[in-house]
């Protein structure tokens, strides 16, 4: 909460962002269910706005064995990087749960990694698209990339200009298939002007909604 | 004006290059305009679809492929054009998004990338890339097969080695000389009656159990094997617990590993049973079956060894030749069992009075020999007399049965070339003792 206050985001703005993310994740769940032919439930319990160092430490502490992640960079009225992160073994379990014909190996093949990229792609696109659509932003999003087991720092250091007081949007996301529940994280790294733009757009959106 | 014209030529030139690059690209490329009509269709697409560029331009994908597109594919294109989203459609999830074929006419395996491309801010297009992954898939299948085969082989090898009545052990020698266990078969549990997990990571587990006297032997052999990449085998004694020891035959082979580091392959066999049989055979070969003392051959071998030593170092050596008096009549009057009893008791009694270093054995029939290293004739006479007296009172377990012994004593001289010469003189002395009325000691 101290974080929120210091960064001067209003409760309304956070609520609006949470709602947008939940809408996006709902779309993603539907897409994934269609893709794998069974119900996939996605759930974002809560959204946090955190500093870069905070999130780096937090993730590194919670995942000492490293993380696999799919990330997509975007640019436009909002610049930054979006990422879906999993503990390595969990990302493997997720692919196993989604791809039924997978051989029981210790390593994902190139094609399976691509499948995981698409899972990330579906989720991240849904979140970004909902945000862009709802807030009237203008962005272009890059093709997703998959990285296995890199330290979190590498992902977060994507842009050296990101300073440590930087606001990042962070939310845990739960995956549920018939087989197992898997937890991953969705992370948006935004540059400072982009945070301002996002906040301004949210303000307008909140005002519009409340004004109606 | 001239400058502007120059710039325009450059732009045209660049866009010409770009078109050519896309046209010749290694992947299929389609560019759709904001209304999803084809404005670019490269050579690879023609190859994959059989649709010529000119036939493709100005049409949408539904028209070109006579059907409804996959919802996610359609949606991805829409999102690229309207919201600027990029998407990847993997083969694992969707199979073929479009009905395309490879150069052999088979179904094409591909991944589809969909990206927004903005040429000017008011005009966003969509680039679709079709990446042929036939090779990737083939490679993955091949890798999977190899991995599976390796796994099978390993399992088979494990099963084999684990059920072998031997221990297979592999140790790597690191650059700083420390050892690292890289493989140990399960057979070790049976060999050492120990828990596999407790020792599997310890490269020196066997060394720690080897009896103290044998450790330096192992260390020497190990050093040799490592330094010269050679093969050696040794038999060592291993403490299994406080009471039980085992004999272990260790075959050690040093070699260079693939990374250049030294590797020692070890095969350990429990040869305790072999050793027990060997010991028994040796005992049988060297002892007289009736009396349990050395037989003639072993007696002579050992005595000759002592003779040579005495000769070389010029130390005294004497020989007693013992002949039981009237032995034949014992057999005749009391039976062979009594005769055997006499021989057995006789041997046991004398063994009890000889020193550890003396050699005592059955020479044949009722004749026995005691070889006494470091003994002069005088000493030997004293011992012989002691023996004679004991035999006089010896009880063989038969009433009214007592025996006496005649003993000939001879000392080695510097002129004697063989033990036989000494024995011959002892024999003459026995003859004299017999002639003197038996139950006495004579020297020569």
Within 8 A of A133 by CB-CB distance, chain B residues are 83
The pLDDT confidence band at residue B210, using thresholds 50, 70 and 90, is very high
The pLDDT confidence band at residue B4, using thresholds 50, 70 and 90, is low
What average pLDDT score do residues B284-296 get? Answer: 88
Q: How far apart are CA A114 and CA A40, in angstroms?
A: 19
Q: For position A185, what pLDDT does the model report?
A: 82
Q: Is the ipTM of this complex over 0.85?
A: no
Q: For position A6, what pLDDT does the model report?
A: 45
Question: Which of A93-102, A162-171, B29-38, B171-180 is modeled with the greatest confidence?
Answer: B29-38
Q: For position B130, what pLDDT does the model report?
A: 94
What average pLDDT score do residues B436-444 get? Answer: 90
Measured in Å, how far apart are chain A's first and last C-alpha atoms? 29
Partner-chain contact A129 B79, CB within 8 Å: yes
Task: Give yes or no for A133 touching B (CB within 8 A).
Answer: yes
Tell whether the model's pLDDT for residue B324 goes beyond 90.
Answer: yes
Q: How far apart are CA A168 and CA A149, in angstroms?
A: 21
Question: DSSP state, B241?
Answer: S
Which one of A74, A118, A128 has the shortest CB-CB distance to B93? A118
The pLDDT confidence band at residue B68, using thresholds 50, 70 and 90, is confident
Q: How many helices (H) and strands (E) would you count in chain A?
A: 7, 8
Interface probe with B: pick from A118, A126, A137, most Cβ of B within 10 Å: A118
Cα–Cα distances (Å) from A191 to A130, A139, A157, A195, in that order, read 20, 14, 12, 6
Of B106, B121, B102, B107, the residue nearest B44 (C-alpha): B102
Tell whether the model's pLDDT for residue B149 goes beyond 70.
Answer: yes
Within 8 A of A111 by CB-CB distance, chain B residues are 90-92, 133, 136-137, 140
Out of A73-77, A165-169, B176-180, B340-344, least confident range: A165-169
What average pLDDT score do residues B219-248 get? Answer: 91
Tell whether the model's pLDDT for residue A197 goes beyond 90.
Answer: no
Tell whether the model's pLDDT for residue B430 goes beyond 90.
Answer: yes
pLDDT digits (tens, 9 = 90+) for B74-111: 999 999 999 999 999 998 888 889 999 988 888 898 99
- Enumerate the domain spans of chain A: 2-211
- Nearest residue on chain B to A131, alpha-carbon basis: B83
CATH class, range B2-132: alpha beta
Q: How far apart are CA B239 and CA B217, in angstroms?
A: 16
The pLDDT confidence band at residue A13, using thresholds 50, 70 and 90, is confident
Partner-chain contact B84 A132, CB within 8 Å: yes
Which one of A31, A111, A132 has the shortest CB-CB distance to B91? A111
Which one of B72, B92, B148 has the shortest CB-CB distance to A114? B92
The pLDDT confidence band at residue B442, using thresholds 50, 70 and 90, is very high
What average pLDDT score do residues B25-36 get? Answer: 91
CA distance B134 to chain A (A): 11
What average pLDDT score do residues B122-143 get? Answer: 86
* Fold equal for B2-132 and B164-276: yes
Partner-chain contact B86 A72, CB within 8 Å: yes
Q: For position A170, what pLDDT does the model report?
A: 67
Interface probe with A: pick from B92, B118, B121, most Cβ of A within 10 Å: B92
Sign of the alpha-carbon torsion through A73, A77, A78, A84? negative
Query: What ranges in B69-113 are assigned the alpha helix state H?
Result: 71-83, 91-94
The pLDDT confidence band at residue B139, using thresholds 50, 70 and 90, is confident
Q: How far apart are CA B374 and CA B142, in angstroms?
A: 81
Strand pairing partners for B318?
B372, B411
- Nearest residue on chain A to B147, alpha-carbon basis: A105
pLDDT digits (tens, 9 = 90+) for A167-176: 566 666 776 7
Strand pairing partners for A185?
A85, A172
Partner-chain contact A132 B83, CB within 8 Å: yes
Partner-chain contact A118 B89, CB within 8 Å: yes
Partner-chain contact A35 B72, CB within 8 Å: yes
- Enumerate the domain spans of chain B: 2-132, 164-276, 287-443
3-class secondary-structure state, position B69: coil
User: 3-state secondary structure string, A141-200?
Assistant: ECCCEEEEEECHHHHHCCCCCCCCCCCEEEEEEEEECCCCEEEEEEEEEECHHHHHHHHH
Of B335, B372, B351, the residue nearest B287 (C-alpha): B351
Partner-chain contact A118 B79, CB within 8 Å: no
Tell whether the model's pLDDT for residue A160 goes beyond 60.
Answer: no
The pLDDT confidence band at residue B2, using thresholds 50, 70 and 90, is very low
Which one of A99, A105, A128 has the shortest CB-CB distance to B147? A105
CA distance A39 to chain B (A): 15
What average pLDDT score do residues B154-168 get? Answer: 84
Task: Give yes or no for A128 touching B (CB within 8 A).
Answer: yes
| Structure token digits, residue B432 | 């004299």
Interface of B with A (CB under 8 A): 71-72, 79, 83-94, 111, 113, 115-116, 118, 133, 136-137, 140, 143-144, 147-148
Domain A2-211 has CATH 3.40.1550.10: yes
Q: Quote the crossing angle between the two packed helices A110-135 and B71-83, to the nearest 10°.
A: 50
Q: B58-75: buried (b, 16+ CB within 10 Å) or exposed (e) per residue?
A: eebbeebeeeebbebbeb
The pLDDT confidence band at residue A87, using thresholds 50, 70 and 90, is confident
Out of A194-198, B2-6, B295-299, B405-409, least confident range: B2-6
Place of tokens 């008791």: B345
3-class secondary-structure state, position B90: coil
Tell whether the model's pLDDT for residue A104 goes beyond 70.
Answer: no
CA distance B5 to chain A (A): 31
Which one of B71, B85, B89 has the shortest CB-CB distance to A141? B85
Q: For position B110, what pLDDT does the model report?
A: 92
Choice between A195 and B369, residue whose per-residue pLDDT is larger:
B369
CA distance A1 to chain B (A): 33
Q: For position A195, what pLDDT does the model report?
A: 78
Q: How far apart are CA A206 and CA A29, in angstroms?
A: 26
3-class secondary-structure state, position B376: coil
Q: For position A180, what pLDDT does the model report?
A: 62
Partner-chain contact A143 B111, CB within 8 Å: no
CATH class, range B287-443: alpha beta
The pLDDT confidence band at residue B10, using thresholds 50, 70 and 90, is low
Q: How far apart are CA A67 and CA A88, in angstroms?
A: 5
CATH number of B164-276: 3.30.450.20
Within 8 A of B136 by CB-CB distance, chain A residues are 110-111
Of A47, A41, A43, A69, the residue nearest A148 (C-alpha): A69
Q: Vertex B359, ends B356 and B360: CA angle to 5°?
A: 105
Q: For position B137, what pLDDT does the model report?
A: 78
Q: For position A178, what pLDDT does the model report?
A: 61
What average pLDDT score do residues A177-194 get? Answer: 73
Q: For position A4, what pLDDT does the model report?
A: 39
Residues of B labelled catalytic: 366
Cα–Cα distances (Å) from A140 to A126, A156, B90, in that order, read 14, 20, 21
Tell whether the model's pLDDT for residue A61 goes beyond 90.
Answer: no
What average pLDDT score do residues A157-164 get? Answer: 50
What average pLDDT score do residues B189-217 get? Answer: 90
Which one of B72, B133, B148 has the shortest CB-CB distance to A111? B133
Of B329, B347, B350, the residue nearest B402 (C-alpha): B329
Question: Is residue B127 a contact partner of residue B114, using CB atoms and an 8 Å limit?
Answer: yes
Question: Is residue B76 a contact partner of residue A129, using CB atoms and an 8 Å limit?
Answer: no
Q: For position B122, what pLDDT does the model report?
A: 76
What average pLDDT score do residues A84-91 get? Answer: 78
Q: How far apart are CA B20 and CA B43, in angstroms?
A: 10
Q: For position A3, what pLDDT does the model report?
A: 42
Identify the helix (H) or strand (E) that includes residue B124.
strand B123-132
Within 8 A of A35 by CB-CB distance, chain B residues are 72, 93-94
Question: Is residue A169 a contact partner of residue A43, using CB atoms and an 8 Å limit?
Answer: no
CA distance B84 to chain A (A): 4
Tell whether the model's pLDDT for residue B3 goes beyond 80.
Answer: no
Q: Quote the crossing angle between the two packed helices B296-313 and B419-435, to the nearest 10°.
A: 110
- Name the pTM for this structure: 0.58
Average pLDDT, chain B: 89
Interface probe with A: pick from B27, B72, B88, most Cβ of A within 10 Å: B88
> How buried is residue B8: exposed, middle or buried, by Cβ count under 10 Å (0-12/13-18/19+)?
exposed
The pLDDT confidence band at residue A2, using thresholds 50, 70 and 90, is very low
What average pLDDT score do residues B371-378 get? Answer: 93
Task: Give yes or no for A103 touching B (CB within 8 A).
Answer: yes
Task: Give yes or no for A138 touching B (CB within 8 A).
Answer: yes
The pLDDT confidence band at residue A100, using thresholds 50, 70 and 90, is low
The pLDDT confidence band at residue B421, using thresholds 50, 70 and 90, is very high
Which one of A36, A72, A110 has the shortest CB-CB distance to B136? A110
| Structure token digits, residue A186 | 């969705």
Q: For position B243, what pLDDT does the model report?
A: 85
Tell whether the model's pLDDT for residue B163 goes beyond 90.
Answer: no
């Amino acid at each position: 909460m101290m974080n929120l206050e210091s960064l001067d985001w209003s409760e309304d703005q956070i609520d609006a962002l949470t709602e947008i993310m939940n809408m996006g994740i709902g779309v993603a769940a539907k897409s994934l269910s269609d893709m794998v032919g069974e119900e996939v439930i996605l759930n974002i319990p809560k959204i946090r706005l955190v500093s870069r160092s905070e999130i780096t430490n937090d993730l590194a502490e919670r995942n000492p064995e490293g993380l696999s992640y799919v990330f997509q960079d975007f640019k436009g009225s909002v610049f930054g990087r979006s990422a879906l992160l999993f503990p390595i073994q969990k990302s493997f379990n997720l692919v196993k749960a989604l791809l039924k014909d997978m051989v029981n190996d210790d390593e994902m093949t190139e094609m399976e990694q691509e499948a995981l990229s698409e899972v990330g792609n579906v989720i991240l696109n849904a979140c970004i698209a909902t945000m862009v659509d709802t807030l009237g932003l203008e962005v272009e999003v890059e093709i997703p990339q998959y990285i296995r087991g890199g330290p979190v720092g590498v992902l977060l250091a994507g842009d050296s200009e990101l300073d440590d007081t930087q606001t990042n949007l962070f939310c845990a996301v739960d995956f549920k298939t018939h087989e197992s529940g898997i937890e991953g994280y969705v992370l948006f790294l935004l540059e400072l002007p982009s945070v301002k733009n996002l906040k301004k757009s949210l303000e307008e959106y909140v005002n519009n909604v409340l004004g109606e | 004006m001239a400058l502007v014209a120059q710039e325009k030529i450059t732009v045209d030139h660049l866009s010409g290059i770009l078109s050519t690059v896309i046209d010749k690209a290694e992947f299929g490329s389609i560019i759709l305009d904001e209304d999803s009509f084809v404005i670019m269709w490269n050579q690879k697409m023609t190859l994959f679809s059989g649709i010529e560029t000119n036939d493709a331009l100005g049409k949408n994908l539904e028209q070109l492929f006579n059907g409804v597109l996959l919802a996610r594919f359609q949606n991805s294109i829409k999102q690229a054009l309207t919201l600027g989203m990029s998407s990847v459609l993997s083969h694992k999830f969707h199979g073929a998004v479009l009905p395309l074929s490879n150069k052999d006419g088979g179904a094409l395996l591909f991944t589809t990338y969909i990206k927004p491309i903005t040429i000017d801010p008011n005009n966003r297009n969509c680039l679709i890339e079709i990446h042929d992954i036939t090779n990737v898939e083939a490679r993955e299948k091949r890798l999977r097969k190899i991995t599976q085969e390796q796994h099978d082989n390993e399992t088979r090898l494990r099963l084999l080695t684990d059920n072998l009545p031997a221990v297979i052990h592999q140790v790597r020698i690191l650059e700083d000389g420390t050892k690292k266990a890289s493989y140990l078969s399960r057979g070790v549990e049976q060999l050492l009656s120990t828990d596999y997990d407790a020792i599997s990571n310890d490269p020196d587990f066997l060394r720690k159990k080897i009896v103290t006297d044998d450790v330096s032997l192992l260390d020497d052999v190990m050093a040799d094997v490592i330094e010269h990449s050679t093969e050696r085998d040794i038999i060592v004694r291993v403490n299994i617990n406080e009471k039980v020891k085992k004999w272990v035959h260790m075959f050690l082979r040093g070699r260079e590993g693939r990374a250049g580091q030294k590797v020692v392959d070890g095969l350990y066999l429990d040869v305790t049973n072999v050793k027990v049989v060997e010991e028994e055979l040796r005992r049988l070969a060297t002892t007289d079956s009736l009396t349990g003392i050395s037989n003639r051959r072993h007696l002579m071998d050992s005595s000759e060894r002592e003779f040579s030593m005495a000769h070389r170092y010029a130390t005294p050596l004497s020989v007693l030749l013992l002949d039981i008096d009237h032995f034949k009549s014992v057999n005749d009057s009391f039976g062979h069992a009594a005769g055997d009893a006499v021989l057995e008791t006789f041997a046991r009694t004398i063994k009890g009075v000889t020193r550890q270093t003396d050699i005592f054995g059955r020479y044949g029939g009722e004749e026995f020999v005691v070889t006494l290293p470091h003994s002069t004739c005088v000493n030997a006479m004293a011992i012989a007399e002691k023996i004679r007296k004991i035999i006089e009172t010896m009880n063989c377990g038969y009433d009214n049965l007592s025996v006496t012994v005649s003993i000939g004593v001879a000392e080695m001289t510097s002129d004697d070339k063989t033990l036989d010469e000494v024995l011959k003189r002892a024999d003459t002395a026995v003859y004299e003792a017999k002639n003197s009325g038996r139950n006495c000691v004579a020297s020569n």
